[in-house]
Amino acid sequence: MIVGIGIDVVDVERFGLALARTPRLLQRLFTAEEQTLPLASLAARFAAKEALAKALGAPIGLHWVDASVSKDAAGRPHLVVTGTVAARSAELGVASLHVSLSHDAGIASAVVVAEA
């Protein structure tokens, strides 16, 4: 059963300007591993975190670094949740999270499906 679906799009250039304008934003939004990625990948991961929040009902109090996007051995992205995000997922009965990322033509996007 689907618990929630979220989608988000990010303008990569605008996102890069925001990161340049507010350097601490990088640490606030991304795990240490994610921080090493190129800008388009960061934008896609931010879109994934936004989409995840929407799939979970966008509750107040989620911490950005409590969700990260990793790749499995085949290169497919998957979400890793801890802390506040894991607690909200458990509260909703989420058994699995599915994520799809894309970035092209200056736009990064992500879709997240939360499944019970």
CB under 8 Å to 10, separation ≥6 — which residues?
A: 43, 44, 46, 47, 50, 107, 108, 109
Query: CA angle 97-98-99, nearest 5°?
Result: 120
The pLDDT of residue 23 is: 87
Domain extent, residue 63, equals 2-115
Structure tokens at 19: 């990161």
Q: What is the pTM of this model?
A: 0.95
Residues 6+ apart with CB under 8 A from 16: 39, 43
Percent of the chain with pLDDT over 70: 100
Domain of 52, CATH number, reads: 3.90.470.20
Give the three-class secondary structure for 112: strand
Residue-wise pLDDT for 25-51, tens only, equals: 999 999 999 999 999 999 999 999 999
- The C-alpha atoms of residue 53 and residue 12 are separated, in whole angstroms, by 20
Please give the average per-residue pLDDT across 84-113, as a whole number.
97
Number of structural domains (the chain) is 1
Which pLDDT score is estimated for 80? 97
